[in-house]
């Protein structure tokens, strides 16, 4: 079932949810999950991390306790994105653009004629390099040893989690997974060995300077190491180099793997339907000519935004989203009276919902500009409000690729911007 989960979830959605309106139970990542119909989205929206936890769920699914300990019990990773990245896009976009150009020069180079490249591997490396500029900082993002060890770690994390789901460990999974994760821990340790000295030096500098000096504020590095130090300074457990190094690597995995897959799928779709190249290219050229390499330029690319959302509708990173673990010791009661005990896991069949012909017209066909047309034809709101309703980073009951409610992916705005930055050079060339 590991490699056919999409098919089984679709059957559950069609034969159970659509016919009875009720949930169904299925194994996912080797664990039992209660798959909920869309009507329970209202419960996800109003529940906080103390009731339903995404971080605990992902730690269980990938057996991350066996390698990273309890770092997923902390909110620091999420807060770095919310309060560090999401509040600084105006300053970060030029840095990301510069790193993106450097990544293309390293991974593709100046090619005088047609040359073959493995799309997935090449684009994943470009996205990893680009993402590293903000999540790892200028001291590490072009360090080949860091890039290699962090990529090996990211791949190892997924493979290790996948292999553990295929073993019939039952109630002994948590204990035995530590034994089977020995190779993944080795890969993690190699990456930490590169990151740790940089974080240690930054922490020492952080402790020496006057945090309120105007000069320091002016020169403050724009990267996740700095924001981790800022946000954890009153928490002795989190404010140490080892913890911040682990958080950095896991955030880098989350921030580069899925966006890399998104851009790869965008390229494949453009190759399948090349009539999208000219309008996307014209929009990107106009945006950069008008606004320069700025966040405003990226925000003005409504066709590209629609294309990204349609990719996520039909080919999301995962067919299942909104995975949560019940944390409240008293369990949780849903709006219709359904009750789940502490420790139970829930999820939603996102792909099945987004491909439902009752949700979208002609749902089985790819329409790259579906959402830009919906935005343009949505009265009486302003264009800006309509674009926000149908935007790629907007979560709704019909756009679940990034989750939903308070638990929606905090990095979705960052991911969409990176997808636009990385895809723009390709559509401006010949692919």
Q: Quick check: 66 pLDDT over 60?
A: yes
Q: Consult the annotation and say whether 100 binds a ligand.
A: no
Tokens of 22: 């009720």
Average the pLDDT over 3-16 and give the result: 92
Tokens of 96: 């990301």
Model confidence over 40-52: pLDDT tens digits? 999 999 998 889 9
Higher pLDDT, 194 or 55: 194
Model confidence over 226-267: pLDDT tens digits? 999 999 998 888 999 999 999 999 999 999 999 999 999 999
Q: Quick check: 386 pLDDT over 60?
A: no
State the SS3 of the chain: CCCCHHHHHHHHHHHHHHHHCCCEEEEECCEEEEECCHHHHHHHHHCCCCCEEHHHHHHHHCCCHHHHCCHHHCCHHHHHHHHHHCCCHHHHHHHHHHHHHHHHHHHCCCCCCCCCCCHHHHHHHHHHHHHHHHHCCCCCCCCHHHHHHHHHHHHHHHHHHHHHHCCCCHHHHHHHHHHHCHHHHHHHHHHHHHHHHHHHHHHHHHHHCCCCCHHHHHHCCCCHHHHHHHHHCCCCCCCCHHHHHHHHHHHHHHHHHHHHHHHHHHHHHHHHCHHHHHHHHHHHHHHHHHHCCCHHHHHCCHHHHHHHHHHHHHCCCCCCEEEEEECCCCCEECCCCCEECCCCEEEECHHHHHCCCCCCCCCCCCCCCHHHHHHHCCCCCCHHHHHHHCCCCCCECCECCCCCHHHCCCCHHHHHHHHHHHHHHHHCCCC
Q: What is the pTM of this model?
A: 0.93
**Residue 426's pLDDT band (cuts 50, 70, 90):** confident
Question: Which has the closest alpha carbon to 153: 194, 184, 199?
Answer: 184
Q: Which segment of 115-119, 244-248, 250-254, 409-413 scores lowest on mean pLDDT? A: 115-119
What is the predicted pLDDT for the residue at 215?
Answer: 46
Sheet architecture: strand order including 24-28: 24-28, 31-35, 345-348, 321-326, 52-53
Model confidence over 320-353: pLDDT tens digits? 999 999 999 999 999 999 999 999 999 999 999 9
What is the predicted pLDDT for the residue at 217?
Answer: 54
Q: Quick check: 101 pLDDT over 90?
A: yes
What are the chain's domains? 5-427 (1.10.630.10)
């Amino acid at each position: 079932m590991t490699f056919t989960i999409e098919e089984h979830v679709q059957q559950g959605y069609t034969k159970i949810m659509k016919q009875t309106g009720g949930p169904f139970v299925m194994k996912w990542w080797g664990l039992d999950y209660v798959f909920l119909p869309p009507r329970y989205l209202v419960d996800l929206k109003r529940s906080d991390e103390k009731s339903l936890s995404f971080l605990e769920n992902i730690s269980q699914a990938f057996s991350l306790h066996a390698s990273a300990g309890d770092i997923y019990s902390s909110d620091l990773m999420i807060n770095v994105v919310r309060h560090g990245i999401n509040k600084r896009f105006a300053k970060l976009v030029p840095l990301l653009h510069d790193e993106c150009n450097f990544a293309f020069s390293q991974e593709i180079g100046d090619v005088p004629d047609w040359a073959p490249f493995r799309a997935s591997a090449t684009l994943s490396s470009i996205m990893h390099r680009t993402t590293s500029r903000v999540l790892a900082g200028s001291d590490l993002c072009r360090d080949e040893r860091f890039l290699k060890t962090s990529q090996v770690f990211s791949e190892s994390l997924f493979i290790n989690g996948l292999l553990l789901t295929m073993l019939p460990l039952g109630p002994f999974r948590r204990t035995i997974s530590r034994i089977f994760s020995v190779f993944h821990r080795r890969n993690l340790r190699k990456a930490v060995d590169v990151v740790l000295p940089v974080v240690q030096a930054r922490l020492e500098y952080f402790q020496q300077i006057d945090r309120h000096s105007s000069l320091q504020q002016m020169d403050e590095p724009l990267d996740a190491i700095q924001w981790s130090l800022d946000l954890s300074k009153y928490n002795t457990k989190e404010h140490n180099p080892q913890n911040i190094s682990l958080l950095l690597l896991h955030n880098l995995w989350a921030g580069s793997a899925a966006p890399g897959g998104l851009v790869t799928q965008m390229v494949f779709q453009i190759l399948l339907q090349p009539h999208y190249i000219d309008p996307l290219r014209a929009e990107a050229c106009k945006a950069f000519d008008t606004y320069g390499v700025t966040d405003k330029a990226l925000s003005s690319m409504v066709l590209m935004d629609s294309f990204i959302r349609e990719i996520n509708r039909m080919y999301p990173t995962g067919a299942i989203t909104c995975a949560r673990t019940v944390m409240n010791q008293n369990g949780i009661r849903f709006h219709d009276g359904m009750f789940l005990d502490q420790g139970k896991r829930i999820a939603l069949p996102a792909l099945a919902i987004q491909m439902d012909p009752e949700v979208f017209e002609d749902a089985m066909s790819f329409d790259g500009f579906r959402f830009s047309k919906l935005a343009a034809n949505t009265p009486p709101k302003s264009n800006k409000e309509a674009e926000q309703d149908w935007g790629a980073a907007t979560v709704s009951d019909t756009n679940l690729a990034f989750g939903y409610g308070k638990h929606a992916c905090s990095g979705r705005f960052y991911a969409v911007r990176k997808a636009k930055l990385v895809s723009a050079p390709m559509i401006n060339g010949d692919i």
